[in-house]
A = this chain, B = another copy of it.
Amino acid sequence: MKINANFQKMKPSYLFSEIAKRTAEFRAQEPDKDIIRLGIGDVTRPLCPAAVEAGKRAADEMGVAETFRGYAPDGGYPFIREAVSRYYARRGVSVAADEIFVSDGAKCDVGNILDIFAPGITALIPDPVYPVYVDTNIMAGNNIVYISGSADNGFLPVPDENTPPADLIYLCSPNNPTGAVYNAGQLAKWIDYARNCGGVILFDAAYEGFVEGGLPHSIFEIEGARECAIEFCSLSKTAGFTGTRCAYTVVPKELNADGVSLNALWARRTATKFNGVSYIIQRMAEAALSEKGLAQIAENLDYYKENARVISSALDELGVEYTGGKNSPYIWLKCPNGMGSWEFFDLLLKKAGVVGTPGAGFGVNGEGYFRLTAFGDRDRTIEAVKRIEKALREEI
């Protein structure tokens, strides 16, 4: 019996365990020191009342024979697929209900989508980025080519004549961890590139709820995307569903590879290896995407956006370079004085009692950078920023 040998090629994910270890050591040395966490990529605000009420109603329905529901359609009930379709339509994007596949998580779909492609293909992945793209491609035995995000391109790499062809192209916008957001012109370059080389863009829009102004929320806002892109999105960050679990993947009907419809392939994969999202959760997601729900979740998004503004204003005053802070819950800062990511982690922990995330955990180009997040409590965020300001004024 042979295991999948590719698992041995995946790097152990030390990032969060190393953070926990260093934080615990500090706590043991300084038990009275108050520690504030600005490192988590998880939401903290409660679910909106519309979703809670819908969940309780649906739970009640499941307790009565007349309204009980068994297996749901694999890709989601029509009511939630249509709610997602309307959510896109608000910004003029036309996505049909049967192009939308509702699932329990964008992370699951981003990983599982590889099932429909041949093994050994080439994936083009930005660096730094969300580690799941790299890990799932290693697991599948694919070749990985990196494209560099850096201060020079605002952490928004675009392809040029030197970019090698790729089968899969991963884009995450707003980006985790850098908070950088592609504009329409940059996405158009990616679409041209993908169509020229016959590749498929896997567009991760998990943070689209933070986008403001004229920047794209969806790659389908851009001409030509329906012929070359799959989009992953989720209620996790938009509606605080990280612990509630509902996401959706859009596979346009126009999208083919090898002359085969990828919509049909993903439908077959879904029918074979998935059994649909809980009815209760689908009703909660529908409520979150209703007019009432959207107004309620906007309050939570505003709360996080104000946290991001508090953090980025302080960095502006200190003259620290960063991306994000706007259109994103992430603030990606350049460690001062040429410090390494972990060196800066230790400095912030010891001098300010603040825990963040070393950029080196997101790829080689993350070294020398550091991620702060806007998902915390307002007062704690303000207090953390005060301490960071004090610590950095002593340092720079």
Given A62-B244, A111-B273: A118 and B4 interface contact (C-beta under 8 Å): yes
Which of A52-60, A173-181, A185-193 sits within the interface? A52-60
A45 interfacial by beta-carbon distance below 8 Å: yes
Contact with B along A296-307 (1 / 0, CB 8 A): 000000000000
Minimum Cβ distance to chain B for residue A118 (Å):
4
A345–B4 Cα gap in the complex (Å)? 43
| Residues in chain B near residue A104, CB distance under 8 A | 104, 245, 275, 277-278
Minimum Cβ distance to chain B for residue A247 (Å):
9
A55–B55 Cα gap in the complex (Å)? 8
Minimum Cβ distance to chain B for residue A206 (Å):
11
Contact partner, A62, options B52, B121, B271, Cβ 8 Å = B52
Contact A2 B280 (CB under 8 A): no
- Give the size range of A's interface with the partner: 35 or more
A102–B352 Cα gap in the complex (Å)? 38
A7 interfacial by beta-carbon distance below 8 Å: yes
Contact B1 A275 (CB under 8 A): no
A268 interfacial by beta-carbon distance below 8 Å: yes
Minimum Cβ distance to chain B for residue A374 (Å):
14
Contact B63 A59 (CB under 8 A): no
Contact partner, A278, options B8, B244, B260, Cβ 8 Å = B244
**A66 to chain B: closest residue by CB:** B46
Contact B274 A55 (CB under 8 A): no
A245–B245 Cα gap in the complex (Å)? 12
Given A68-B47, A70-B42, A281-B280: A59 and B56 interface contact (C-beta under 8 Å): yes
Provide 30 A-B residue pairs closer than 8 Å at the C-beta atoms, listed in order of the A residue: A1-B167, A2-B257, A3-B258, A3-B260, A7-B116, A7-B265, A8-B260, A13-B271, A43-B70, A44-B68, A47-B62, A47-B63, A49-B63, A52-B60, A55-B56, A104-B275, A105-B275, A107-B274, A111-B272, A112-B112, A115-B139, A132-B273, A135-B272, A242-B275, A243-B278, A243-B279, A244-B279, A244-B280, A245-B276, A245-B277
Q: Which residues of A contact B (CB under 8 A)?
A: 1-5, 7-8, 10, 13, 40, 42-49, 51-52, 55-56, 59-60, 62-65, 68-72, 104-105, 107-108, 111-112, 115-119, 121, 132, 135-136, 139, 167-168, 198-200, 240, 242-245, 257-258, 260, 262, 265, 268-269, 271-281, 284
